[in-house]
Amino acid sequence: MNISIFSYKQNIKVDFTERSTRIKLYAKVNSIMSKGQETKQRLLDSAQQLMYSRSYSDVGVQEICKDAKVQKGSFYHFFSSKSALTVEVLEQLKMQMIESILLPAFAKDLTPSRRFERFIEYAYQHQVQIKEQYGYVLGCPMGNIALEMSTQDEEIRKKVETLFESIFYVFVDVLDDAKKAGEIDQDADTSELAQVCLAYGEGVLLVAKTKNDPEVVKQLLPYVSKLIGFKGQNI
Amino acid sequence: MNISIFSYKQNIKVDFTERSTRIKLYAKVNSIMSKGQETKQRLLDSAQQLMYSRSYSDVGVQEICKDAKVQKGSFYHFFSSKSALTVEVLEQLKMQMIESILLPAFAKDLTPSRRFERFIEYAYQHQVQIKEQYGYVLGCPMGNIALEMSTQDEEIRKKVETLFESIFYVFVDVLDDAKKAGEIDQDADTSELAQVCLAYGEGVLLVAKTKNDPEVVKQLLPYVSKLIGFKGQNI
DNA sequence: TACAAAATAAACTGACCAGTCTACTATTAA
DNA sequence: TTAATAGTAGACTGGTCAGTTTATTTTGTA
């Protein structure tokens, strides 16, 4: 139950709060992690796993502790509340998402439009794997929590909002590249297009989860190129 | 707490399970409703309101009963479970959505592309009103429940899936009209485009809810025309 | 008016909720 | 070695959860 959904490297911090997508790496070796930090990490991993496969409300602190083999006293030693834990889970989720999907997909070895194609393939493969593993398409872990918790927990809502911003900057970066490469209109509003891409991606994952069918991702996500307006392309 | 979110007319059944969007009206006067049926309706309305403004899990049977001024015994007289109630709430939600937004927006007095513009305006105005009323953008009540419950309650997931199908048929209908009118490509796959529209709409509402900002709807939803590929249009 | 069915009231399960508390045991640094 | 700090253990709180049960009242119909 503690295998991470994304392949996960410890303690790599990526800063997307600046528009430039410079990456800062604070390399730390796993073995340096103290016993306490390992316990905390187990709690974060269990919580992430359980909440993603079910929901925030359906997973209790007790169950997270049991899964992580940690006592309740320890839980509240590391986290002030379930909500505070969730905010940290979301941060971890963002790092994993950027590292294991966005950065590889949008690496600059291909043309911007090809990067999008690779992104679509990764997103599809990811949902296929999730369905094999859990029996359900789980969609986007951030979108899921956002819709469930936005009206109930302002800290969580804000956190998801900033996560979306981080992803947004990744899209802006590729779209700016596309503009430079002449793949899209010179007067395209890349900032607005990035928001559009994010929204469409979330929507496709929502529908895929509802239908419990990863093929929805494969079928619908390519339409993102229409949204962006890549020149000379028919999906 | 019992004022419906959508203006609601009783007992009008719209059949969108057939691709033709013929409407069957079973007109029933309110006063014919028996006292028991009124109680049931109060439970449905309270549940809809409370679950939309918060979430499925955060609203308990007890709270629904209190809001509807109904005793727990009565609740379980009308509904076999909270899940069964929710399925009926979803059905009611679909009817209201079709009646108060989709049918008026996509009425055939305008060209298909103009109907979409009207739809966007309605969707935007609706979220503005919701935010005024609750202090929060609540997004799509079906999408919300879908993401929260799809992996936990198969009946609810299936119900949302069929609701999405009903909405899908409405979109197919307009898109077919657009094809006939020559507003889109003659070889456009209207069925696939309808799915794309649905996904994008859900995505935009998800982002709007996350940012708690109805303006997101106004800004992003118009891009749907790019997705559809209306000829000679720049958003 | 009589009677069955529909509806309501309210107390009651047993399980679980997030979070607290106190006592205990490692770990670290002086 | 000592003392402080970090981490762990697990019982416990008051409250809520979905759902049950039994008795009673209201309603429609014959």
pLDDT digits (tens, 9 = 90+) for A184-193: 999 999 999 9
Give residue A233's pLDDT. Answer: 63
Is residue A34 scored above 90 in pLDDT?
no
pLDDT confidence tier of residue A104, bands split at 50, 70 and 90: very high
Which token pair is B187?
Answer: 């070889």
> B38: which nucleotide lies closest, measuring CA to C1'?
C7
Distance from residue A163's CA to nucleotide C25's C1', rounded to whole Å = 39
Q: Is the pLDDT of residue B92 over 60?
A: yes
Q: What is the pLDDT of residue B37?
A: 83
Average the pLDDT over B1-29 and give the result. Answer: 32
Predicted local confidence at residue B107, as pLDDT: 98
* Contacts with B, A 155-174, CB within 8 Å: 157, 160-161, 164
Looking at per-residue confidence, does A135 or A32 come out higher? A135
Q: How many CB atoms lie within 10 A of CB B111?
A: 14
Q: How many residues does chain A have?
A: 235
B57 touches chain A (CB under 8 A): yes
- Least confidently predicted of A27-41, A101-115, A126-140, B101-115: A27-41
The pLDDT of A210-225, averaged and rounded, is 98
Q: How far apart are CA A34 and CA A149, in angstroms?
A: 32
CA distance to A38, A93, B52, B95, B152, per residue, from A58 (Å): 25, 19, 18, 29, 9
Compute the distance between CA of residue A190 and CA of residue A179 in angstroms, rounded to an integer: 8
Average pLDDT of the residues in B197-207: 98
The answer to whether the Cβ–Cβ distance between B147 and A149 falls below 8 Å is no
pLDDT digit string, tens, across residues B129-166? 999 999 999 999 999 999 999 999 999 999 999 999 99
* Segment among A29-33, A51-55, A167-171, A207-211 with least mean pLDDT: A29-33
Q: Is the CB of A31 under 7 A from strand C?
A: no
Residue A99: partners with Cβ closer than 8 Å, 6 or more residues away: A6, A8, A9, A12, A14
Average the pLDDT over A99-111 and give the result. 97
**Residue range A62-79, pLDDT digits in tens:** 999 999 999 999 999 999
Distance from CA of B187 to the nearest CA of A (A): 12
pLDDT band at residue A37, thresholds of 50, 70 and 90?
confident
Q: Pinpoint the alpha helices (H) of chain A.
A: 35-53, 61-68, 72-78, 82-97, 103-105, 112-134, 141-149, 154-180, 190-211, 215-220, 224-228
B163: nearest Cα among B60, B17, B20:
B17
Cα distances (Å, whole numbers) of residue A101 to A7, A9, A19, A112, B106: 10, 13, 19, 15, 39
Distance, angstroms, CA B62 to C1' C12? 14
The tally of CA atoms less than 13 A away on the side-chain side of residue A172 is 16
* Interface contact B141, partner A, CB < 8 A: no
User: How close does chain B come to A26, measured CA to CA in Å?
Assistant: 30
- Whether CB of A32 is under 7 Å from strand C: the answer is no
Average pLDDT of span A157-174:
98
Q: Check if B81 contacts A (Cβ < 8 Å).
A: no
* A9, pLDDT greater than 70: no
pLDDT band at A13 (very low <50, low <70, confident <90, very high): very low
Per-residue flag: A71 CB under 7 A of strand D: yes
- Residue A80: is its pLDDT beyond 50? yes
Q: How many residues does chain B have?
A: 235
| CA A232, chain centre distance (Å) | 30
**Cβ of B34 < 7 Å from strand D?**
yes
**Which has more confidence, A233 or B120?**
B120
| Bases of strand C lying below 7 A from some protein CB | 6-12, 16-23, 27-28
Q: What is the mean pLDDT of chain B?
A: 87
DSSP for B154-194?
HHHHHHHHHHHHHHHHHHHHHHHHHHHTTSS-TT--HHHHH
Quote the CA–CA distance of A217 and A208 in Å, as a whole number. 6
Alpha helices in chain B (DSSP H): 35-53, 61-68, 72-78, 82-97, 103-105, 112-134, 141-149, 154-180, 190-211, 215-220, 224-228
Confidence (pLDDT) at B157: 98
Averaged pLDDT, B78-105:
97
| Interchain contact A152–B (C-beta under 8 A) | yes
pLDDT surpassing 50 at residue B3: no
- Report the nucleotide nearest the CA of residue B82, measured to C1': D18
Interface probe, candidates B193, B210, B218, B219, chain A, greatest A C-beta count within 10 A: B210
Beta carbon pairs, A and B, within 8 Å: 146
State whether residue A6 sits within 8 Å of chain B by CB.
no
Position A11 scores a pLDDT of: 32
Residue B9 has a pLDDT of 32
B15: pLDDT strictly greater than 90: no
Give the per-residue pLDDT at B7.
Answer: 34
Q: Answer whether B207 sits within 8 Å of A204, measured CB to CB.
A: no
Domains of chain B with CATH codes = 30-228 (1.10.357.10)
With beta carbons less than 8 A apart as the criterion, state whether B130 and B138 touch: yes
Strand C contacted by B34 CB (< 7 A): yes
Task: Judge whether A131 is closer than 8 Å to chain B, CB to CB.
Answer: no
The stretch B21-38 carries a mean pLDDT of: 46
Q: Is residue B213 a contact partner of residue B137, using CB atoms and an 8 Å limit?
A: yes
Distance CA B204, CA A199 (A): 5
Question: What confidence tier does B231 reach under pLDDT thresholds 50, 70, 90?
Answer: confident
**For residues B25-54, average pLDDT:** 76
Q: Mean pLDDT across the stretch B185-213?
A: 98
What mean pLDDT comes out for the span A148-166? 98
DSSP designation for B222 = G
B229 vs A5, residue with greater confidence: B229
